[in-house]
Amino acid sequence: MSRYFTEDHEWIDVDGDTATVGITDYAQSQLGDIVFVEVPEEGKSVGKGDDAAVVESVKAASDVYAPVSGTVVEGNPALEESPALVNEDPEGEGWFFKMTLSDTSELDGLMNESAYADFVSKL
């Protein structure tokens, strides 16, 4: 499995042609306590950079963007009941949605873990 990151602070774990998407620990720390999450519907088609989900904290509401193009196969049902999972484990159990990839070459424009760490260190 390969993990990639966007400049908008989403992460994407790729396993074959399926991927899991969430927000990074950095994004979660900037938002503060998460109080509401809206995940995309199964079957929704998203293009790279499209709004895919919504996350609301005590500080602000923010869109979660699709890191690559594809079709949503599952939203994380646990986030409806427990949006705080994003605070507790943003890069694990607090994932937002799973999708099938329509163009794996779009992954080439994303950062690996060390490039993302370097990017965040300059913010």
Domain boundaries, the chain: 2-103
Confidence of residue 12 (pLDDT cuts 50, 70, 90): very high
* Residue-wise DSSP of 16-35: TTEEEEEE-HHHHHHH-SEE
CA 27 to chain centre: 10
Say which residues have a Cβ less than 8 Å from residue 16's Cβ, sequence separation at least 6: none
C-alpha 78/C-alpha 52 separation (Å) is: 17
Per-residue H/E/C for 65-98: ECCCCEEEEEECCHHHHCCCHHHHCCCCCCCCEE
Range 2-103 has CATH code 2.40.50.100: yes
Q: What is the pLDDT of residues 70-106, one digit of tens each?
A: 999 999 999 999 999 999 999 999 999 999 999 999 9
Q: Do 38 and 53 contact (CB within 8 A), yes or no?
A: yes
Tokens of 92: 């694990």
Question: Taking 90 as the threshold, does the pLDDT of residue 1 lie above it?
Answer: no
